[in-house]
Chain A
């Protein structure tokens, strides 16, 4: 795994010396595709699997002030049922009275079952560059990986689920901050890029289906797993907005919109990103 990964990084470095930007971009993409192909041969070579294992251990270990495991946590398919649960999230939870994505639901379980203080968990919920994903993120990576190979099938039947996706769509186009950015500024056309980084057209279902199911993903540039909530946080950072709270209605709404866009797309967690 280490050797292959080093080879991949070397390939990236070599392509960075390429001549034209387009060729360089295509080479980088080719290098990444080659690495993905190697991973298909040996799917366990993605470093993100270390956090899948870590997340599974955290799920089954008695923790928190109440010293219990998360094995009674209901992700929507009944207490303790992890298999396939992520594919049907976000969803409305009667006990919480709100729509939740995977991370928000795990946060809720950590609070209600294990007795953790939610306010503490959302204070610094995401890792800095080079730091491993936090415990909540590792658990989310484990939970999502248990739907790998399945297709997104969140129902959006409950009025609150429909409202969450509609709210997310509104926020996707909502411009704010001193740079006047919205998600749509960068993600509402096909084939465009920032510097050399390609941008998915997320208002288009076909492109959303290709990329949304890759999160949580191992990010080569920051050498850690990044979750979907972290991805939203990072976009808002770039938009010159303040820190969006993990589990906030806004972040859940955006994830609901993206998941609805990706309906029918395959889940392949952990993904691998530049």
Chain B
């Protein structure tokens, strides 16, 4: 039994052992030279910040202590609406959930507001059948949470910076990275949490 286990371990461990370590500085240099036409103000796009570096190194499964550091650091980035009203217009939220526009090199100069492209990864309303499955279904999101005020705030935080609740989440940090404005995030929150939203009425 123990021998079998040892053999299994020996085999499963082989790819990991064969895996050559790449110095992060080497990867940085290779990336820098791979994008010779990058505008000067895009330099930060190439390197990623400390949180991204930690998530890359951990392949998105950070150890508990690192996860705590990430969550705390990212919490500091969240800016809340001054009037504590988190709910905007769900119709605008639906429009930005459909749009994948923004921040690609073909999107400059900007011709419209950035989108959140939520449907790329999430099921949201029943009506939209072309949705992705990289993220969890958001169907009946508010209803399932009984429209509680703390759930409204949590939804805002998740869209603003998903790494607070889930360090090394694969979802973009829409607020912290200035992909969406505060008003747009409130519209997205409305799509999820407003009782009139088709997400919750099932229309």
Q: Does B19 contact A (CB under 8 A)?
A: yes
| Contact flag A192-B105 (CB < 8 Å), given A175-B48, A175-B52, A241-B45 | no
Render A162-174 as a binary contact track against B, CB cut-off 8 A, 1 for contact: 1100110111011
B71 to chain A, nearest CB (A): 15
Contact A180 B45 (CB under 8 A): no
Which residues of B6-60 are within 8 A (CB) of A?
19-22, 26-27, 30-31, 33-39, 42, 45-48, 52, 55-56, 59-60
How far does the alpha carbon of A102 sit from the alpha carbon of B199 in the complex, in Å? 49
Interface hit among A68-76, A84-92, A140-148, A247-255: A247-255
Q: Does B112 contact A (CB under 8 A)?
A: no
Q: Does B134 contact A (CB under 8 A)?
A: yes
With both beta carbons as reference points, the residue of chain B lying nearest to A249 in the complex is identified as B30
Other-chain residue from A19, A166, A171 in contact with B31 (beta carbon distance below 8 A): A171
Interface hit among A3-11, A193-201, A266-274: A193-201
- Residues of chain A having any CB pair with chain B under 8 Å: 19-21, 24, 162-163, 166-167, 169-171, 173-182, 184-186, 188-189, 191-197, 199, 237-238, 240-245, 248-251, 253
User: Can you show 12 pairs from A to B with CB atoms below 8 A apart?
Assistant: A24-B129, A170-B22, A178-B103, A178-B178, A180-B170, A182-B56, A186-B134, A237-B105, A240-B103, A241-B45, A242-B39, A242-B42
Contact A175 B56 (CB under 8 A): yes
A183 to chain B, nearest CB (A): 11
Contact B56 A245 (CB under 8 A): no
| Contact flag A241-B56 (CB < 8 Å), given A166-B20, A178-B45 | no
Contact A21 B130 (CB under 8 A): yes
With both beta carbons as reference points, the residue of chain B lying nearest to A199 in the complex is identified as B134
Residues of B within 8 A of A191 (CB): 133
Chain B interface main SS type: loop
Contact A196 B130 (CB under 8 A): yes
Residues of B within 8 A of A184 (CB): 59-60
Q: Does B179 contact A (CB under 8 A)?
A: yes
Residues of A within 8 A of B81 (CB): none
How far does the alpha carbon of A169 sit from the alpha carbon of B166 in the complex, in Å? 24
B64 to chain A, nearest CB (A): 20
B26 to chain A, nearest CB (A): 7
Q: Does B132 contact A (CB under 8 A)?
A: yes
Q: Does B195 contact A (CB under 8 A)?
A: no
Residues of B within 8 A of A240 (CB): 45, 103-104
Residues of A within 8 A of B130 (CB): 21, 24, 195-196
| Contact flag A194-B121 (CB < 8 Å), given A178-B172, A184-B59, A250-B30 | yes
Contact A178 B27 (CB under 8 A): no
Contact B177 A192 (CB under 8 A): no
How far does the alpha carbon of A174 sit from the alpha carbon of B54 in the complex, in Å? 10
B129 to chain A, nearest CB (A): 4
| Contact flag A245-B59 (CB < 8 Å), given A176-B45, A178-B177 | no
Q: Does B173 contact A (CB under 8 A)?
A: yes
Render B101-145 as a binary contact track against A, CB cut-off 8 A, 1 for contact: 001111000000000000111010000011111100000000000
